[in-house]
């Protein structure tokens, strides 16, 4: 077990299986097919992300360095929450970008199902965590990797 301290962007607690992308996460490319065709497992449709392509993102602890791509990224996160196709939480090794932050915060304010979001967990976090590990988020921004 190892603990990492990050900055709370959207408060909350979660316990979920880790799903790790070592590269930037393209929000629109990853969620587009799931949102368009109602895939409740939210399988990643970004063919350029070999870490996640074809894997279910729903109710996973989505771990990544940062998001990349379209300016629609924030609304994609919000829509994924609204349609109940979202990750259990978002964990960023780097500082969150404004679009991902906006989507996470809006989902927390405009829905009854906030998606806890923690950033600034550090590069050591991303090199340590592997898909399949259990992640637990504590209210103060501590991320426990079991």
Query: How many folded domains does the chain comprise?
Result: 1
Domain ranges, residue 94: 2-145
pLDDT tens per residue across span 48-61: 999 999 999 999 99
- Looking up residue 6, the CATH number of its domain turns out to be 3.50.30.10
For residue 71, pLDDT over 90 is answered with no
Residue percentage of the chain with pLDDT more than 90: 95
pLDDT tens per residue across span 114-135: 999 999 999 999 999 999 999 9
pLDDT tens per residue across span 3-14: 999 999 999 999
Q: What pLDDT band is residue 20 in, cutting at 50, 70 and 90?
A: very high
pLDDT tens per residue across span 72-119: 899 999 999 999 999 999 999 999 999 999 999 999 999 998 999 999
Write out the chain in H/E/C secondary structure.
CEEEECEEEECCCEEEEEEECCCCEEHHHHHHHHHHHCCCCCECCCCCCCCCCCCECCCCEEEECCEECCCCHHHHHHHHHHCCCCCCEEEECCCCCHHHHHHHHHHHHHCCCCCCEEECCCHHHHHHCCCCCEEEECCCCEEEEC
């Amino acid at each position: 077990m190892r603990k990492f301290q990050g900055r709370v962007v959207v408060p909350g607690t979660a316990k979920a299986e880790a799903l790790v992308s070592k590269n930037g996460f393209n929000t629109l490319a990853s969620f587009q097919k799931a949102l368009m065709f109602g895939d409740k497992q939210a399988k990643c449709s970004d063919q350029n992300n070999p870490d996640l392509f074809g894997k279910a993102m729903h109710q996973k602890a989505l771990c990544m360095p940062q998001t990349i791509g379209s300016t629609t990224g924030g609304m994609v996160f919000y829509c994924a929450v609204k349609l109940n196709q979202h990750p259990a939480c978002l964990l960023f090794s780097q500082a969150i970008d404004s679009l991902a932050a906006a989507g996470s915060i809006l989902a927390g304010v405009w829905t009854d199902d906030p998606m806890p979001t923690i950033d600034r967990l550090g590069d050591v976090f991303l090199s340590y965590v592997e898909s399949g590990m259990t992640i637990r988020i504590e209210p103060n921004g501590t991320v426990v990797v079991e």
